[in-house]
Amino acid sequence: MRITAVETGRRGVRLRSSFRTALREVTDFEVVTVWVRTDDGVTGCSEVVGTARITGETNASIEEAVNKVLGPVLIGRDLSDYSVALTDAAAAMVGNTTAKCGLDVAVHRAVAAWRAITLSELLGAAPRPIATDVTLSLAAPPVMAAEAARRANEGFGALKLKVGGPVALDIERIQAVARAVPATVALRVDANQAWTAKQALEVIGAVTAAGVTLEFLEQPVPAADLTGLAAVTARIPVPVVADESAHSAADVRRLADAGACDVVNIKLAKCGGLQAALEVAAVACAGGLGVLFGSMLESGTGVAATVALASRVAAEQVHDLDAGWWAEVQSGAVYEPPLVRAEDGVAAP
């Protein structure tokens, strides 16, 4: 069975409420859909989103990369040799990891459809629901506390707080949320690169002294500041997660060698898809680092691929896969807090 066409399109996604981090605020967005079609009528699809401040890509650049550079490499290739074909396509251009992810996931879904199995089974795991946290959008402390209480009541057992300065206000945010939920609810803090190492130490020192227990601190300092990240990791009693600092397997090796984090947040759009993510996870484990699977602000169709991957690599863990939950109209991923499961045979609307 040979690939005969690679196509792209777009659709809009509206959020149930505004999503705000230290980097941006979003109420709706467009996704790029990638379809891979074969000569036997089998189709695989994926959905990805350009996140310029993280991967350097826009939706327009994703479409250009898929249609003009990556996709043509796959035309005429046999699905039975899909891994080599995807490796060849990825080698056709540097960077553009979200575009590569779109093509990679669409091909994997085509292969799964051809074999009449789920994506999880193609990756070597039984389909299963995965536990996820839910994000608390950056807001005033009382607003975040009220939101935290609502999400805990809905069944989420882990909350990820978006923070981003000023430091005194971030301390207040964390403490307010901690007071609003039962002690059994895990609290995760994500600064999205907003702090310096000194500020990170100040915030964590203050909240831990106040008796707040945090499960982890994610990306407290700018992505390129591995020295600062290592200093925070060495000096706080809370595990540190690298997100924007950890795109590729090479990045993860550098993080491990520098002692710059305890865990890496693996996202398909950062590394280039399922095939690359498996390599990143293997490198992380070899370097003594934990792995957490996350997502960009993307559709449930995009999240579903990562759910399948998590079922292969770290099924018992609570991951960071709530992106599809934020959509006003959900598809691809089904949320039953605290669990998310991938719909079988997922196809983009």
- 162 catalytically annotated: yes
Which residues are paired to 136 by β-bridges?
A: 161
Paired tokens of 202: 């100040």
CB atoms within 10 A of CB 2: 13
Which residues are paired to 31 by β-bridges?
A: 11
DSSP state letter for 302: H
How far CA 224 is from CA of 271, 276, 309, in Å, comes to 17, 21, 27
Place 225 in a pLDDT band, splitting at 50, 70 and 90: very high
Nearest CA among 139, 113, 101 for reference residue 3: 113
Which runs of E-coded beta strand occur in 61-133? 130-132
Q: Which of the following is catalytic: 100, 160, 198, 267? A: 267
Alpha helix locations (H) across 218-259? 226-235, 249-258
Percentage, residues of the chain above pLDDT 70: 97
Q: Which of the following is catalytic: 68, 162, 198, 270? A: 162
- 100 catalytically annotated: no
Cβ atoms of 156 and 133 closer than 8 Å: yes
3-state DSSP helix/strand/coil percent for the chain, to nearest 5? Answer: 45, 25, 35
Element (H, E) at 86: helix 82-90
Please check the confidence at residue 349 and state whether its pLDDT lies above 60: no
Domains plus CATH for the chain? 3-117 (3.30.390.10), 122-342 (3.20.20.120)
Tell me if the pTM is above 0.75. yes
Cα(253)–Cα(66) distance, integer angstroms:
28
Cα 244 to its chain centre, rounded Å, is 11
Question: What are the tens digits of pLDDT across the range 305-324?
Answer: 999 999 999 999 999 999 99
Question: What are the tens digits of pLDDT across the range 22-44?
Answer: 666 788 899 999 999 999 999 99
Cα(74)–Cα(106) distance, integer angstroms:
12
Which pLDDT value is given to residue 331? 86
* Residue range 87-113: mean pLDDT, rounded: 97
Please check the confidence at residue 348 and state whether its pLDDT lies above 50: no
Cα(52)–Cα(118) distance, integer angstroms:
31
Averaged pLDDT score across all residues of the chain? 95
Which residues are paired to 265 by β-bridges?
A: 292
**Is omega for the bond preceding 142 within 30 degrees of 0, making it cis?**
no
User: At CA 145, angle to CA 143 and CA 146, rounded to 5?
Assistant: 65
Please check the confidence at residue 347 and state whether its pLDDT lies above 50: no
Cα(242)–Cα(115) distance, integer angstroms:
36
Question: What are the tens digits of pLDDT across the range 165-180?
Answer: 899 999 999 999 999 9
Place 345 in a pLDDT band, splitting at 50, 70 and 90: low
